[in-house]
Structure formats: C-alpha cells, structure tokens
A and B are shown apart, each in its own frame.
Chain A
Amino acid sequence: DSGVTQTPKHLITATGQRVTLRCSPRSGDLSVYWYQQSLDQGLQFLIQYYNGEERAKGNILERFSAQQFPDLHSELNLSSLELGDSALYFCASSPGQDLYNEQFFGPGTRLTVL
C-alpha cells in the first residue's frame, strides 16, 4: 500500500496511561497532519509537520505531542489519558505545505480509553 499508513488500527488503554500513534506518509510527501475525530466534536486539526519541522498547530492539548522523524514518519504521543480522549485519530499527508496540495488521509487509529 503506497498510501498513508497508520498503526495500530485499534488501541485500548486505561486512564492515566500514555500511548504512541504512528503514521507513515505517502511516498514523497513531506507534510504530515494529525486530526482527532470524536463523536461530539467532529474532525479537529491537531498539528502539522513539514519535513521534520512543526508548521501549524490547532487545538492540541498540552498532554499531546508529536514529531516527524528524518524518514518522514510521524508519531503522536498522548499522555495522562482521559476518557474524553477516546476518538479516531487520523493522519494525512501532502507533497508540500501549500494550500493547493491535497491532503491524503490514512485509515485512522481508534483509541479507546477505559
């Protein structure tokens, strides 16, 4: 699959724990975006990285952090998890950082916090 990949598909954990979600962008894409989709909030932009550097930030909680590595894969770290963090987390990638670059989405990671 040459598209955006995300692991794991599902994650179940307990409150207070820490998890790491992983995203591999499409081959050649330099930008990675993270979104959170919860039942009551819809899809919300969290953060964007371009070629290893943070480019844009949305309403990302301080308990959440992300990074993009030299091989361009990205990780989203969620710590001190709360019940309300249960959601689908999507990663998207695009070739560059222009507006006109279409964002290609991954299949998502479903996080359940018990």
Chain B
Amino acid sequence: AQRVTQPEKLLSVFKGAPVELKCNYSYSGSPELFWYVQYSRQRLQLLLRHISRESIKGFTADLNKGETSFHLKKPFAQEEDSAMYYCALDPGATNKLIFGTGTLLAVQP
C-alpha cells in the first residue's frame, strides 16, 4: 500500500541547532515527493518538491530510494521555522497527494 510515514509528532530544537524532519514512504514506482508547511494561522503551502532539487528558506530534502526516505533538513533552525510540516507523495504522477500525519517543529529561543 502507498503510505507516507512521519514518525515524530513533535520535534523540539533550539535556535541555531540542526533540524531533520523524517519522512519515509512506501511506493514501488518512482515517487514524486513534496514537503508542505503550515505556519500558525496560515494555510498549508508547498515548501519544496523533490523534482525541483531546490532549497527553500534554507531547507533541503534528498530522496534516498534505497531507504525510501525524503527527510527535510536545515543546518541552523530559526524561530520562524516553527510550524507543522507534512511530507507528501504523489504516486504515479496522479495528483492524488498522500500526506503523512505531520511533524510539529518547535524552535526554542
């Protein structure tokens, strides 16, 4: 079954510390993966997508097909990074996004 797993419900780090939000997926084909973010009182929005190989707000994510992972990383966390982060999978380019349950990132001052 196609599935996205985000094992941590909450990740709390101090400002300036490295951040890694874990995402593992279950899909037999070539996955298209995304990270979405929801800041407090704001809408869910796209942060970055695997296919673009981009770095947004200092965040990067690398697809590891061997480990079926797409972890989100940032070397130095900022307080404004505090938000809910969702990993999502589009199996077979169908536009049917499959979301993980989300990880709440709390960056302490």
Contacts and interface: CB of A to CB of B under 8 A. Distances in A.
B40 interface: no
Interface residues of A, number: 25
A103 interface: yes
B100 A103 contact: no
A95 to B, nearest CB: 12
A33 B32 CA distance: 18
- What DSSP secondary structure best describes chain B's contact surface? mixed
Interface residues of B, number: 20
B43 A3 contact: yes
Contacts of A44: 99
B65 to A, nearest CB: 18
Interface string A13-48: 000000000000000000101010000001111001
A33 B44 CA distance: 13
Interface in B55-109: 86, 88, 90, 93-102
A53 interface: no
A42 B101 contact: yes
Contact of A48 (B86, B95, B98, B102): B95
B46 A102 contact: yes
A99 B96 CA distance: 9
B104 to A, nearest CB: 13
Contact of B95 (A42, A99, A106, A107): A99
A3 B94 CA distance: 23
B45 interface: yes
Interface in B21-53: 32, 43-46, 49, 51
B44 to A, nearest CB: 4
Interface of B: 32, 43-46, 49, 51, 86, 88, 90, 93-102
Shortest 8 CB-CB contacts between residues of A and residues of B:
A43-B99, A42-B101, A105-B44, A99-B93, A45-B96, A102-B46, A105-B43, A56-B96
Interface of A: 3-4, 31, 33, 35, 42-45, 48, 55-56, 58, 90, 92, 94, 97, 99-100, 102-107
